[in-house]
Amino acid sequence: MHVLVSGAAGSLGRVITVGLEGLGHDVVGLDLVPAPEGTTFPWYEADCADADAVEAVVAALTTGGRLDAVVHLAGAPEELSLPDELTSHVVTTAALLDAMVAHDVPRLVYASSNHAVGRTPRASGELTEAALPRPDTYYGVAKVAAEALMRLFADRHGIDAVACRIGSFLEEPASVRGLSTWLSHGDGLRMVEAALTTPAPGFAVLYGISANTRAWWDLEPGRRLGYEPQDDAEAYVDRVQAGPDDEAEAEFVGGPFATAQFVRPALRPGTSP
């Protein structure tokens, strides 16, 4: 497949782009910053919040050829002001979807977040894709809105759109909560590959975690799309130290985001996430 990956220079993007290329996909990177040293695939520098810039990239990639999918990983990973979060996650998603419709790109795979349902109490039991939106932050609100945009474009334009509600994407779990929410690098790639290649998913949501023994979220939605995680955070249990905040972090599925008090600075003029 010919795949455009936004946010390709980020921690998730670097793993996914290299992994997809290794699986034989034709990868193109898109980010605000130059390609990391050693990058072997084409790269565009552009702001995904700039609809004209996004349109130009997608137009260039579809002139005389075909773009099969966009993997949208771009966006600020921390809590910001509400306008900044909406720009970072909703405006960017809309720009990509508009360009996709204009140039007949049929599929979007999106890095959503567990924080879209982060204020759901853990006492509610295992979380399924039927859980109602319950964001824990402005960041979570923006992820909910981006998922709603994907549903709109799936319904109105026939786009296949898979929202991956990612847990804790790390080399290994770093907390007791992480033993439930961890997504390994290998499973992160398996998740995106499944979302890219599953036949005709329409709009779908999966929970982006590994096959963790202590998982809080239902893996069945991902398995229906072909995502078969191979790793289990339990393999690292001896390395994870108990902490004073473990009980509080287990109260809501969003962990510390669900109760933390954030300072939300505005972006400097002329910048965007």
Per-chain mean pLDDT for the chain: 94
The arithmetic mean of pLDDT across residues 141-163, rounded, is 98
Q: In residues, how long is the chain? A: 273
Per-residue model confidence (pLDDT) at position 272: 29
pLDDT at 93: 98
Is 75's pLDDT higher than 80? yes
Domains and CATH numbers, the chain: 2-262 (3.40.50.720)
In which residue are the tokens 């809501």 written? 252
Over range 23-46, report the average pLDDT: 97
The two tokens of residue 103 are: 């140039």
pLDDT of residue 268: 40
Confidence grade of residue 2 (pLDDT, cut at 50, 70, 90): very high
pLDDT for the residue numbered 267? 41
pLDDT at 269 over 70: no
Higher-confidence residue: 243 or 125? Answer: 243
pLDDT at 261: 79
- Active-site residue 139, yes or no? yes
Coil/strand/helix, residue 121: strand
Is the pLDDT score of 271 beyond 80?
Answer: no
Quote the pLDDT of residue 162: 98
Task: Write the CB contacts of 254 (distance below 8 Å, at least 6 apart in sequence).
Answer: 114, 115, 117, 118, 119, 120, 136, 137, 140
Report residue 214 as tokens.
């202590």
Say what the pLDDT of residue 208 is. Answer: 98
Could you report the per-residue pLDDT of 81-116, keeping only the tens digit for each?
A: 999 999 999 999 999 999 999 999 999 999 999 999
Ranges 70-74, 123-127, 200-204, 234-238: which has the least confidence = 123-127
pTM of the prediction?
A: 0.94
Cα separation, 139 vs 133, in Å, equals 13
On the question of pLDDT at 20 being above 90, the answer is: yes
Options 44, 110, 138, 139, the catalytic residue:
139
